[in-house]
């Protein structure tokens, strides 16, 4: 099996592999394991001409760390167009292209809520809306989190508790829709759970905690990760969320809804933060069995 790991040209903001600057440490663990199983694994920088990608005779392209797609409106549009071109040329993607396109925009959370999944109270602020939307949210919730519907790695994600600070949004709002949610202060103390599903089944969990005095949990922003067994209520919520998502994707996309990987991010109060089907870190470290499940999923996809 010949596998392409879709990445980006500059991962310097993240935990980069010492062996290959086009891989994160997470990617490298997976690549090393797959190589030991006799697979060929090569990095594919997103945006590489599709004709060149085709010449590499890949059995599957796994979207792993293309995180700079969220750096600008041009990147966001180019990344989606590139995925679309790969799909047009029948280059197999994992997860499937319809799923990736759906999951790229956090409007999907509304569909999951309609399917019975609990999410935080959410207001959408479109590019034509005024800051009065945020004024109302501040009056209602006191502190609010504002984040783009299309983003990665908490880019352009803000915590506000007063109107004066809202003007920092103006330079980055052009053409974009943002999600507005109440701030959950417990995130600073109890963190956020991420439960990973591989080859359609639950694999493992991590607890992500922000650094002291902060609220963002990403490790590149100072957060920490603990590999732990999730409490029963968290595990049950994640399993139910995954099953409802599977049912929704089956209805929307049919056979194109099979998932190699998924990550369910759970906020305090047992509500869904995100369902990551596009480019999540999968936390393979300390979970050798997880990489085996990843490999089995790839075998299943390429039969």
- What domains are there in the chain, each with its CATH number? 2-94 (3.40.50), 108-118+187-280 (3.30.470.20), 123-182 (3.30.1490)
pTM of the model: 0.93
pLDDT band of residue 219 (cuts 50, 70, 90) is low
Task: Please state whether the peptide bond connecting residue 151 to the residue before it is cis, i.e. omega within 30 degrees of 0.
Answer: no
Question: What is the pLDDT confidence band of residue 154, given thresholds at 50, 70 and 90?
Answer: confident
- Partners of 45 in the beta sheet? 7
C-alpha angle 136-72-11 in degrees, rounded to nearest 5: 115
HSE of 300, CA atoms in CB hemisphere, 13 A: 15
Average pLDDT over residues 255-270: 91
Share in percent of the chain as helix, strand, coil (round to 5): 40, 25, 35
What percentage of the chain carries pLDDT values higher than 70? 97
pLDDT (average), residues 230-244 = 97
Question: Whole-angstrom Cα distance, residue 104 to residue 279?
Answer: 9
- Whether pLDDT at 221 is above 70: no
Q: Cα 40–33–291 angle (5° rounding)? A: 120
How many residues are recorded in the chain?
303
Distance CA 150, CA 176 (A): 8
Could you read off the pLDDT of 92-102 as tens digits, one per residue?
999 999 999 99
Q: How confident is the model at residue 146 (pLDDT cuts 50, 70, 90)?
A: very high
The tens digit of pLDDT for each residue in 75-90 reads 999 999 999 999 999 9
Q: Is the pLDDT of residue 53 over 90?
A: yes
Is there a contact between 76 and 150 (Cβ–Cβ < 8 Å)?
yes
């Amino acid at each position: 099996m010949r596998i392409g790991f879709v990445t980006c040209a500059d991962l310097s903001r993240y935990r980069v592999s010492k062996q290959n600057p086009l891989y994160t440490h997470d990617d490298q663990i997976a690549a090393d394991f797959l190589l030991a199983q006799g697979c060929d694994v090569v990095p594919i920088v997103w945006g590489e001409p599709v004709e060149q990608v085709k010449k590499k005779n890949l059995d599957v392209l796994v979207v792993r760390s293309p995180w700079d797609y969220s750096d600008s409106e041009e990147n966001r549009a180019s990344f989606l167009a590139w995925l679309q071109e790969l799909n047009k040329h029948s280059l197999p993607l994992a997860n499937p292209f319809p799923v990736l396109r759906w999951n790229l925009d956090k409007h999907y959370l509304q569909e999951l809520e309609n399917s019975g999944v609990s999410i935080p109270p959410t207001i959408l602020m479109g590019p034509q809306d005024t800051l009065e939307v945020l004024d109302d949210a501040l009056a209602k919730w006191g502190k609010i989190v504002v984040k783009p519907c299309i983003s990665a790695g908490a880019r352009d994600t803000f915590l506000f508790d007063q109107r004066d600070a809202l003007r920092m949004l103006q330079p980055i709002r052009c053409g974009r829709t943002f999600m507005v949610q109440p701030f959950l202060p417990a995130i600073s103390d109890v963190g956020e759970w991420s439960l990973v599903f591989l080859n359609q089944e639950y694999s493992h969990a991590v607890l992500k905690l922000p650094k002291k005095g902060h609220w963002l949990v990403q490790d590149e922003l100072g957060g920490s990760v603990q590999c732990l067994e999730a409490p029963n209520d968290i595990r049950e919520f994640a399993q139910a969320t995954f099953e409802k998502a599977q049912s929704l994707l089956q209805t929307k996309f049919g056979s194109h809804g099979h998932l190699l990987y998924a990550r369910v991010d759970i906020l305090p109060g047992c509500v869904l933060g995100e369902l990551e089907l596009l480019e999540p870190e999968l936390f393979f470290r300390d979970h050798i069995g997880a990489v085996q499940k990843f490999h089995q999923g790839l075998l299943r996809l390429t039969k």
